[in-house]
Amino acid sequence: MEQLSFLAIPAVGAKLTPEQAMRLAISEAAKGSARVSPNPQVGAVVLDRDGGFMASGYHEYFGGPHAEVNALKNFSNQQLQGAQVYVTLEPCAHEGKTPSCAKMMAKLPLAKVVFGLIDPNPLVAGQGAEILKSAGIEAELFSSADKKAEDEIRLLLEESCEAFLWNFRNKKVFVALKMASSLDGQVALRSGESQWITGPESREYVHYLRACYDAVLVGKGTVEFDDPSLNIRHSTISKKNKVIVIDAEGDLLHKFADLKMTQVHDSADLLWCVSAELSEETQKKLAKLSNRPRVLFVKTKVAGDLDLQDLLAQLYALGLRSVLVEGGAFTASSFINCSLVNRLYLFQAPIIMGSGGSLSWTNSVRIATMSEKLKLQNPRYQVFGNDFLITGVL
């Protein structure tokens, strides 16, 4: 779950409760959301020995310094005497692209480090805390006497790095589905026309969301109807992204060179998912195309649909950790039918398109009884211009 509004940074010396410190660390973490994947977003807050605010920091970009380093970097050992650090994720124990934060902090005269989540990475889990304890620094998982606040904060912590936690816990790609619909759930006219349903504010946020995920995925119909660029066009974020297209028969590959996305992406960043059961002859033809994307051959199911589990497993093997599915209707429904959507972002515009001549994003989802209805967990609501966004865990 990504956010756009952040908590105000307190004045130096302002007293913070542990709950306020951890909420601020979570808010700081979110500032890195568009640039850190596949790393988790992490935020840190430093308080003096009396609980007065000293500084905050966050992991700003993949490969860059970690949140703890950014929060602590401007202080001398003398200033940090007895200080406390609130950090959203257990400090790392291992050397990766940057040195171990636990080892760095173990050398400082800190009194306490409170972390929001135990790192699920087996190279860290519990070991970051052990390094700190061995150095005589109190290291503990965040808890609060106010159990309601603790539950709320724990949920925010889990949401703040949900893709990272999902990846480590399940060894699978995290899937978010984004759709823009009318009030009556329609995403396009049957003629294919769909631009634009939502306003510019929603669309700008979608570009931000694209930056938060490792790749954008669409079905063949969307490419045929819209010829979208699917790159990131945002006022403050400049980032290259990957695009995945489901095109079981490889039909669009023959006009690949003419597609808009081909003009704005490197071919290596475009992944085409075709059926592994394409005839040898067709496969040879595809291999001969001079200008073509990377082609993934995906298993098919009885009805001829691509096996989306196999597709996601191949993406995981390629190092992708999160995907934003952007439709269209058939593709969205396929992911829902296979129970593969982790998070939904549904933008709704204050318009009515009628179901007579349009497509709903759940077009081929069949719910037979109310007990089978799908329910969003922990829904959140945000307004963008005249539209609103509902997001939650599916």
Residues numbered 234 to 293 that lie near ligand NAP (CB under 6 A) are 246-249
The residue within the footprint of ligand NAP, chosen from 329, 340, 349, 389 (CB under 6 A), is 329
Pick the closest to residue 217 from 337, 340, 301 (CA basis): 340
Beta-carbon contacts of residue 258 (< 8 Å; ≥ 6 apart): none
Applying CB under 6 A, does 179 fall inside the site for ligand NAP? yes
Pick the closest to residue 265 from 239, 298, 237 (CA basis): 239
Pick the stretch among 33-41, 107-115, 216-224, 288-296 that binds ligand NAP (CB under 6 A).
216-224
The kind and range of the H/E element at 329 are helix 329-337
Applying CB under 6 A, does 222 fall inside the site for ligand NAP? yes
The residue within the footprint of ligand NAP, chosen from 105, 137, 261, 306 (CB under 6 A), is 306
Per the annotation, the verdict on 68 as an active-site residue is: yes
Q: How many residues bind ligand NAP (CB under 6 A)?
A: 28
Sequence-ordered strand ranges (E) for 8-143: 43-47, 53-58, 84-89, 112-117, 138-141
CA separation for the pair 185, 360 (Å, rounded):
6
Applying CB under 6 A, does 327 fall inside the site for ligand NAP? yes
> How many CA within 13 A on the CB side of residue 47?
24
CA separation for the pair 71, 67 (Å, rounded):
6
Applying CB under 6 A, does 152 fall inside the site for ligand NAP? no
The kind and range of the H/E element at 380 are strand 377-384
Binding mask 189-208 for ligand NAP (x = CB under 6 A): ---x-x--x-----------
Beta-carbon contacts of residue 111 (< 8 Å; ≥ 6 apart): 49, 82, 83, 84, 137, 138
Distance in Å, CB of 285 to ligand NAP, minimum: 16
From the list 68, 90, 162, 326, the catalytic residue is 68
The residue within the footprint of ligand NAP, chosen from 28, 119, 159, 326 (CB under 6 A), is 326
Applying CB under 6 A, does 177 fall inside the site for ligand NAP? no
Tokens found for residue 101: 């934060």
Distance in Å, CB of 331 to ligand NAP, minimum: 3
Binding mask 333-352 for ligand NAP (x = CB under 6 A): -x------------------
Enumerate binding residues for ligand NAP (CB under 6 A): 179-180, 187-188, 192, 194, 197, 218-222, 225-226, 246-249, 305-306, 308, 326-331, 334
Question: Which residues are known to be catalytic?
Answer: 68
